[in-house]
A and B are shown apart, each in its own frame.
Chain A
Amino acid sequence: MINLAARDIGHHLGRFIFTGIGLGLLIGVTLTMAGVYRGMVADGRAVIAASGADIWVVQKDTLGPWAEPSSIRDDLYRSMAGLSGVAEAANVAYLTMQVQINGKDVRVMLAGIEPGALGEPAQVIAGRPLLRSHYEAVADEKAGLLVGDVVRIRRHEYTVVGLARRATSSSGDPMIYIPLKDAQEVQFLKDNDSLIAERARTTANPAINRPGVPGLLDAVVATQTSSRNVNAVLLRLAPGYPAEEVKAEIGRWKHLTAWTRADMEEILVAKLIATSAKQIGMFLVILAIVSAAIVAFIIYTMTINKQREIAVLKLIGVRDRSIATMILQQALALGLIGYIVGQVSATLWAPFFPRHVLLESGDAVRGLVVTLVVCALASVLAIRAALRIDPADAIGG
């Protein structure tokens, strides 16, 4: 049995390969987009898992601390530490902000943790973890800092004592861990001008600035400048203890909501990433349609260019099935070349992409199947055209 498709491709090999490469780049972009989505989900899950927390306690009815702003008193963790099943409780503060690093503005997620307590980075790949209670930092390597660098965050300068890897927020921003008290100040204490203005307003208020009560004004000003809130409390449970129980217990408290790890993952994936997921999904559909159109067009053109030959073949007795098979095989071959080129390029350029691109083998297989199916469908147009060719046209006149 002779393979007409192989012969035809071999005859126009250069053009075919060239088209395949073009298609491949398109497929590569598609695979990369899917990889971006997977990367976002993986990053989100990594952030949640890296904290080591089994339960996240946030302000009542919020999805915090990342999906929504959440603010709770920082002394609540003491009562939670006493709940049955809780092995460790720790305050954390999170804030996304711009920090100047090496002359550039870098978007980071500032994480305020108690050195040595839950919420600290799981491992450092350089330097050491946080030990002091002020003015030290551990940064993710993506921030561009090295051990020993000094970075200015709002009012103070922090010495980088350690580096972490894969410590990023769910949107891919590198994290910088600093002691909780410093983070509280960063988050809740305003800048000097605002403070001075606030102080002036308070001083001008006769209800507070009473001559008969010396010291009242100072006390009120002091409360305005103190920061006694955090964004969440992390709980680590005794091994095997059911998280749902603790979650239900805290849910009964008046001002708090508790989320388990599974809840947090769902919040992140379903809510935070949902919009991006939709966008990426639409993008994938569009790319699939465009790819199908390209394949259809190329195969159709190749078929029409063989109009005379197909008429001759039909005339001398070649079956429709053989002709259709040839066209289908050409479309599949184009798809296969495109897929391989796409997969290889995506693998090669993924590390350099600004977002985390995670190419899963499941996606690779799915991509192959979809590519082949799309190519098969795209060939239908050309096959229909081929079948309509009248063998009589081969005999002129």
Chain B
Amino acid sequence: MQNPTANKEVAIRLSGLTKTYGQGANVVHALRGVDMTIHRGEVVGLVGPSGSGKSTLLKCLGAVIEPTGGHIELGGERIFDEQAGGWQIDDLRALRRDRIGFIFQAPYLIPFLDVTDNVALLPMLAGTPNEEARQRARELIEALDVGHRVGVRVSMLSGGEQQRVAIARSLVNHPPVILADEPTAPLDSTRALAVMRILNDMAQRYGAAIIVVTHDEKIIPTFKRIYHIRDGRTEEEAGEGREITS
């Protein structure tokens, strides 16, 4: 099915991705050959019951664990090829830092850093001058409507504010790929929809490809494309693509 919002390049492509845990009698086939294609600017949903391999898939995509078979391409570059020997990139952490953004179920902000520094952390550690990094951070924070909380301690923010800061953190390096794991789980429907609106906004503005793992009924209708995952296999489906009104 053609996706009207899909544009140009493929940001993520998975081919025959498998992941097997354990040996012998305790073998667990978490992924049994997953194929997936996501374009820049797309916000795609990944839906499935627990134990279906959602987290495993995210961990493989995020270069956190090593798949057993298949290959992964990011932005056209093959970063994993089991036949070619596994990871094709030496510094996985740099990969994660520069090309992948993470949004977790909980904000997981660093409590001893303030809002700006939480967002500006990665570029600062990478060597970007503090001023520039903080400037970029502040822009994002403003864009996410948490600008009034700059300079404040993380513990003083509400859950929703923290989540928005976390989203800003994932975006500060303008990564081409963003992996979001149940970002709306703890939120009520208004907030959940607000988060989805922001994500869609980011995807459009910065051209990031966003995968959202979720089973939240409130936001599933907003996806234009959904991958269902069950028993380690995926199936593509067209979503409703409902507009999110604020």
Give the B-binding residues of A (Cβ under 8 A): 1-2, 4, 7-8, 10-12, 308-309, 312-320, 322, 391-392, 394-397
Q: Which residues of A contact B127 (CB under 8 A)?
A: 1
**Partner of A392 from B59, B97, B111 at Cβ < 8 Å:** B59
Residues of B within 8 A of A391 (CB): 64
Q: How far, in angstroms, from A396 to B124 measured CA to CA in the complex? A: 27
The residue that B108 contacts in the complex, of A312, A317, A320, with Cβ under 8 A, is A312
Does B117 contact A392, Cβ atoms closer than 8 Å?
Answer: no
Stretch at the interface among B4-12, B20-28, B34-42, B98-106: B98-106
Q: Which of B94, B117, B121 counts the most A-chain CB atoms under 10 A from its CB?
A: B121
Identify A10's interface contact among B59, B97, B112, B121, CB under 8 A. B112
Q: How far is the CA of A12 from the CA of B112 in the complex (A)?
A: 8
In the docked arrangement, what's the CA distance between A2 and B124, Å? 6
Contact of B122 among A308, A316, A320, A395 (CB under 8 A): A316
Measured between beta carbons, the chain B residues less than 8 angstroms from A392 are: 59, 64-65
Of chain B, the residue at the smallest CB distance from A313 is B110
Contact of B117 among A2, A12, A312, A314 (CB under 8 A): A2
Taken together as a complex, chains A and B put the C-alpha atoms of A349 and B127 apart, in Å, by: 47
Decide: B181 and A395 in contact? CB cutoff 8 A: yes
Q: Quick one: which of B65, B94, B117, B130 contacts A317, CB cutoff 8 A?
A: B94
List the one stretch of B50-58, B81-89, B230-238 in contact with chain A: B50-58
Question: Chain A contacts of B111 at CB under 8 A?
Answer: 11, 309
Please determine whether B64 and A396 come into contact, CB atoms closer than 8 angstroms: no
Q: Give CA–CA (A308, B106) in the complex, Å.
A: 11
CA distance A319 to B93 in the complex (A): 7
| Smallest CB separation, A390 vs chain B (Å) | 8
Are B110 and A397 in contact, CB atoms less than 8 angstroms apart? no
Chain B positions 163 through 193: 1 when the CB is less than 8 Å from some CB of chain A, otherwise 0: 0000001100000000001000000000000
CB distance A7 to B96 under 8 Å? no
A396 to B110, Cβ gap below 8 A?
no
Q: How large is the interface on B (under 10, 10 to 19, 20 to 34, 35 or more residues)?
A: 35 or more
Do B55 and A7 touch across chains, with their CB atoms under 8 A apart?
no
The residue that A1 contacts in the complex, of B50, B113, B124, with Cβ under 8 A, is B124
Point out the residues of chain A lying under 8 angstroms from B169, CB to CB.
316
| B112 CB contacts on chain A under 8 angstroms | 4, 7-8, 10-12
Q: Tell me the smallest distance from the CB of A13 to a CB of chain B, in Å.
A: 10
B96 with A315: CB separation less than 8 A: yes
* B111 to A, closest residue via Cβ: A11
Q: Which of A8, A322, A395 contacts B64 (CB 8 A)?
A: A395
Structural contact, B97 and A318, CB atoms closer than 8 A? yes
User: In chain B, what residue has the closest Cβ to A7?
Assistant: B112
Asked if A397 contacts B54 (CB within 8 A), the reply is yes
**B102 / chain A contacts, CB cutoff of 8 Å:** 315-316, 394-395
Q: Is B1 an interface residue (CB 8 A)?
A: no
Q: Which 10 A-B pairs have the closest CB atoms?
A: A317-B97, A11-B112, A317-B96, A397-B55, A312-B108, A8-B112, A2-B124, A7-B112, A392-B64, A317-B93
* Residue from the set A1, A308, A322 with the largest chain B CB neighbour count within 10 Å: A1
A397 and chain B: residue at smallest CB distance: B55
Chain A residues closer than 8 Å to B67, beta-carbon distance:
none
Q: Is B125 an interface residue (CB 8 A)?
A: yes
Q: A1-B124, A392-B59 are in contact. Are A312 and B130 (CB under 8 A)?
A: no
Residues of the A chain whose Cβ atoms lie less than 8 Å from the Cβ of B124:
1-2
CB contacts (< 8 Å) of A12 on chain B: these are: 112
Q: Is B62 an interface residue (CB 8 A)?
A: yes
Query: Which chain A residues border B98 with CB–CB below 8 Å?
Result: 317
- Within 112-142 of B, Cβ neighbours of A (below 8 Å) are at 112-113, 117, 120-122, 124-125, 127, 130
5 A-B pairs whose Cβ atoms sit less than 8 Å apart in the complex = A316-B96, A318-B97, A395-B55, A395-B104, A397-B55
Least CB distance from B111 to A in Å reads 6
In the assembled complex, which residues on chain B have CB atoms less than 8 Å from the CB atom of A396?
Answer: 55, 104-105, 181
Contact A317 B122 (CB under 8 A): yes
Chain A residue numbers with a CB within 8 Å of B97 are 316-318
Indicate if the CB atoms of B108 and A309 lie closer than 8 Å: yes
Provide the bound-state CA to CA distance between A4 and B117, in Å: 10
Complex: A10 Cα to B117 Cα, angstroms: 14
Across-interface contacts of B105 in A (CB, < 8 A): 396
